[in-house]
Structure 1
Amino acid sequence: MTDPVLETRALTKRFGALTVSDGITLDLRPGEIHALIGPNGAGKSTLIGQICGTIPPDAGSIRLNGRDVTRLGTAARARAGLARTFQISALAMEDSVLQNALLGALGAAGSPWRFLASALGDGALRARAEAALERVGLGDLATARTSELSHGQRRELEVAVALTLAPRAFVMDEPMAGLGAEGSLRMTRLLDGLRAEAPILLVEHDMDAVFALADRISVLVEGRIAATGSVADIRANPEVRAAYLGDDA
């Protein structure tokens, strides 16, 4: 079997007497979209925080391309190839679309302290950012102010920022949040095309998108992985249907 790109082993996190991540082991394999679903309060955000470096685990480990990154900070993980998009937008709204994309390219180059003005004149960095914008369909809006974009376009810009990191793996936290039917379909098509560039760990409540995209699904319930399998496996699992999917299955 192909070695995983991203892997957690027995990841555990406690807040006082509450165990929020209870020995979680999962992996992300090359070329796949692995969806993580579960009810509110299941511990998805805490798990993603540990994977991306904003929350330190109490036990267990995280490996990226075979390297233990458990103790690395968020910037170091990004430079190692872990790209994240957020449930709530983290864009600089008063900057241009291109400037936002350049921030990611600067991080990928290991030079986050450089001024954007000088980065705009760096041909290689600018080319990286412009290519990412073209990839998500925002090439014609490079000079627009980010605050002028629609919600769906801001979501696409977040993906472009992640792309400038030349990622080895994506972690995407509810990319469909706030999108209507047309926006969700557009984002679904975009993510479907990205899996060949880097696999995606997808946290998402939109079950239509999950079922359309996922190669595997893991169900997180009360801090534990209750089931992992294909879309067909998860649809057919009676415990998952009863606890989470309901009529959506």
Structure 2
Amino acid sequence: MTDPVLETRDVCKSFGALRASRNISLDLNAGEIHAIIGPNGAGKTTLIGQICGTLKPDSGSVRLLGQDVTGLATRDRAQRGLGRTFQISSLAMEDTVLQNAVLGALGATANPWRFWKDVLKDTDLRTKAEEALHRVGLQDHALSRTAELSHGQRRQLEVAVALTKEPKAFVMDEPMAGMGSEGSKRLTEFLDELREQAPILLVEHDMDAVFALADRISVLVYGEVIATGTVDEIRSDAAVREAYLGEDA
């Protein structure tokens, strides 16, 4: 059996008396989508922060491609292959779609502070950015202002920005947030294909999308994983139904 692409081992995090993460161990394997679900306040955001580097665990470790990255900054984890999309968009709305993608490509280089005008003339960076935009279906919007995109297209652009860094794993924080049913359906189809390029750790409240996409689901309640399993296993787990899904799941 191959080693996980991404994993946490006994991760713990407290804020005063609040234990936001309690010995959380989970992993993400090549080619899969592993969803993390749970009620508001379950500790999902805290866990994602520790995985991506914005929070440091009190104990435990985070490993990427078999290497311990617990002490690395967010940017260093990104350069090692951890791609992230956010619940709230982090795009530069007044810049063009292409500029956002080029900026993402620049962030994957060893010299991310180059003068912006020079960057736009860099053939290699532009090519990488244009390839990423084509991959997500935004090539025809390359010169559009990002603010002019639909909500779903902005989500696609966030993925394109992450793709320019050639990620080995994605961490996606509620990519379906704010989308209607048609937008969610299109993004679900896109993510289903994207897993072949890099596996996805997916935090999501849209249970239709989770059940359609996930190979495995981990349920987080009060900072603790109470169950991990396939869609069918999670659907039928009595503790999960009581804690989160409800009797209508």
Could you say which TM-score interval applies, normalised by the shorter chain?
A: over 0.9
Write the deviation string for residues 140-164 of structure 1: whole angstroms up to 9, x where unpaired: 0000001111111111111111111
Query: Which amino acid is 2:165 matched to?
Result: L
Query: Could you tell me which residue of structure 2 aligns to residue 178 of structure 1?
Result: 178
Q: Is the 8 A contact 1:102 1:116 kept in 2?
A: no
Does the 8 Å contact 1:4/1:65 carry over to 2? Answer: yes
Q: Which residue of 2 aligns with 1:158?
A: 158
State the 4+ residue runs in structure 1 displaced beyond 6 angstroms: none
Identify the residue that residue 43 of structure 1 maps to in structure 2: 43
Any stretches of 5+ residues in structure 1 without a counterpart?
Answer: none
Q: How many residues align?
A: 249
- Match of 2:246, SS? helix
In 2, Cα distance between the equivalents of 1:139 and 1:110? 26
Give TM-score scaled by structure 1 length: 0.98
- Using the alignment, how far apart are the partners of 1:191 and 1:32 within structure 2? 11
- What corresponds to 1:124 in structure 2? 124
SS in 2 for 1:197: coil
Q: Which residue of 2 aligns with 1:211?
A: 211
1:150-208 C-alpha deviation (Å, 9 max, x unpaired): 11111111111111110000000000000001100110011001111100000000000
- Within the alignment, does 1:145 sit opposite 2:120 as a pair? no
SS of aligned partner of 1:209: helix
Give the whole-Å Cα distance in 2 for the aligned partners of 1:93 and 1:248.
40
Q: Which residue pairs with 2:243 in the alignment?
A: 243
Residue 115 (structure 1) shift: 2.6
Instruction: Provide TM-score, normalisation by structure 2.
Output: 0.98
Q: Distance in 2 between matches of 1:182 and 1:117?
A: 38
Alignment check: 8 A CA contact 1:84 1:170 kept: yes
The residue aligned with 1:106 is 106
Q: Tell me the secondary structure at the aligned position of residue 152 of structure 2.
A: helix
Query: Which one-letter code corresponds to 1:82 in the other structure?
Result: L
* Unmatched segments (≥5 aa) in structure 2: none
**What percent of counterpart residues are identical?**
70
Conserved? CA contact 1:35–1:203, under 8 Å: yes
Distance 1:208 1:164 in 2: 29
Using a 3 Å threshold, how does the CA distance of structure 1 residues 248 and 51 change in structure 2: closer, same or farther?
A: farther
- Name the structure 2 match of 1:232: 232
Letter in 1 for 2:179: L
For 1:198, the equivalent position in structure 2 comes to 198
- What displacement does 1:3 show? 0.5
Aligned residues: CA RMSD: 0.8
